[in-house]
Amino acid sequence: MDGKIYTAQAVIDLVDPQTVIQELCKHMREHNAEISEESGDVLLRLSGCSARFSADGAMTRINIEAPDFEHLYFARMTVASHILEFAGETVPEICWNGDHGDAERPPNFQTLTVTDTRDVTPHMRRITFRCENAARFANLDALHLNLLIQQPGLAEPQWPFVGASGLIEWERPDLKPSMRKYTVRSIDLATSQLDIDFVLHADAGPGSSFAEAVTIGMEVGVLGPGGGGLMDADWYLFAGDETAIPAIARMLENLPADSSGAAYLEVSDAAEIQNLQTPVAIGIHWLIRNAEKPGSLLVEALRQTHRPQGDESIYLWAACEFSAFKTIRQLARQDWKLKNDQHLVVAYWREGTKS
């Protein structure tokens, strides 16, 4: 950051500005935003950014400040997307002015080129990509990226650009890529390369189909990094199926030296077990699913886990199929009474839906 304050402004015609701004602020409070009022204006603060909403006659004026362009980009996009969400049937026109108003590509976009591929297990394929800036993905609190998988047979790839509203747009919306979230498994800063592991499915969606057909030299786009990752704690509890193994494996490799805990990994059969490394005393338990319902073994293992009862700080990270996700989230919040900063439980897929 260069010390400069980056700004953006927009004047919007809203049919019911008070309701729209109230709903936007209510939603952003759920993401830990601070909301206040100053001289009749509504001020929203989050992640070093601020958005001020002011009445300008019959119009609504929005002023955003951010510490750098990337934060400004996300602040504009967040405000615009939620205004459109809460405005109802009347869609307002949003046009931002200010710093980097002429930016063509999202600041978190880059292209990757396939340099290598190998199978880690019968159903886990590791693909190595060369990228423009691998250092972007080195932060352990944002492990994921969105992979832009082109539709088959396109002569020219479709890449995202930033519209006047601050939202992502496409030159040919009917040909836009499929977007799938993946974990950066490992990074080599010296060669500017990164690895992504793909689960190979019999009923393949865009991600698995890409991994099946990949060849050296293929190019893909990515948006990222993002998503929750490793938090500081004394005792860790990890739980996940095949789709979560790349994220859990990367976190296990980077745990604090004085930490401990347990990891439960559910796989279809013994051939999917990997030799995972961790520098600390943490038990890694492989659960063989066979014909059991996906995630059911994870739920049972967590219910039987003995957690520290003293002053040790706890962090639970779990990712799995949607039904198991709901049960584990309930277990964490209602039974264990874990606070928001003590757990991250997400659904990576839903049974019956292609991923």
pLDDT at residue 264 greater than cutoff 90: yes
Q: CA 102 to CA 162: how far, in whole Å?
A: 9
Give burial (CB, 10 Å; 0-12/13-18/19+) of 252.
buried
pLDDT reported for residue 343: 96
Mean pLDDT, rounded, for 118-145: 96
pLDDT reported for residue 136: 94
Q: CA 75 to CA 177: how far, in whole Å?
A: 24
pLDDT at residue 26 greater than cutoff 80: yes
**CA 143 → CA 76, 227, 287, distances in Å?**
23, 6, 24
Mean pLDDT, rounded, for 323-350: 96
**One-letter amino acid of 96:** W
Give the pLDDT band of residue 231 (cuts 50, 70, 90).
very high
At residue 25, the 3 state secondary structure works out as: helix
Give the pLDDT band of residue 147 (cuts 50, 70, 90).
very high
Pairing of strands 34-38, 41-46: antiparallel
| pLDDT (tens digit per residue) in 290-305 | 989 999 999 999 999 9
Q: Where are the CATH 2.40.30.10 domain residues in the chain?
A: 109-226
Mean pLDDT, rounded, for 273-294: 96
Mean pLDDT, rounded, for 81-87: 96
Is the CATH code 2.40.30.10 the one for domain 109-226? Answer: yes
At residue 20, the 3 state secondary structure works out as: helix
pLDDT reported for residue 101: 85
Pairing of strands 178-188, 193-199: antiparallel
Q: Percent of the chain scored above 70 by pLDDT?
A: 99
Q: Where are the alpha helices (DSSP H) in the chain?
A: 17-29, 69-86, 206-213, 245-253, 296-303, 322-330
**CA 299 → CA 167, 251, 264, 330, distances in Å?**
38, 21, 10, 11
pLDDT at residue 204 greater than cutoff 90: no
pLDDT at residue 354 greater than cutoff 70: no
**One-letter amino acid of 222:** V
- Domain 6-98, second-level architecture: 2-Layer Sandwich (3.30)
For residue 302, give every residue at least 6 positions away whose Cβ sits within 8 Å of its Cβ, in sequence order, or none: 237, 239, 264, 318, 328, 331
Q: What is the strand order of the sheet 343-349 is part of?
A: 281-288, 260-267, 235-240, 314-321, 343-349
Give burial (CB, 10 Å; 0-12/13-18/19+) of 112.
buried
pLDDT at residue 19 greater than cutoff 70: yes
| pLDDT (tens digit per residue) in 34-71 | 999 999 999 999 999 999 999 988 899 999 999 999 99
Distance of CA 328 to the CA centre of its chain: 19
Give the pLDDT band of residue 83 (cuts 50, 70, 90).
very high
Give the pLDDT band of residue 230 (cuts 50, 70, 90).
very high
For residue 201, give every residue at least 6 positions away whose Cβ sits within 8 Å of its Cβ, in sequence order, or none: 123, 208, 354, 355
- What mean pLDDT value characterizes the chain? 95
Half-sphere exposure of 157 toward its Cβ, with a 13 Å CA cutoff?
Answer: 15
Q: Where are the CATH 3.40.50.80 domain residues in the chain?
A: 235-349
The domain 235-349: what is its CATH number?
Answer: 3.40.50.80
Mean pLDDT, rounded, for 212-219: 95
pLDDT at residue 152 greater than cutoff 90: no
Q: Where are the CATH 3.30.310.50 domain residues in the chain?
A: 6-98
Distance of CA 145 to the CA centre of its chain: 6
Nearest to 260 by CA among 245, 278, 239, 287: 278
pLDDT at residue 355 greater than cutoff 70: no
pLDDT reported for residue 1: 57
| pLDDT (tens digit per residue) in 234-252 | 999 999 999 999 999 999 9
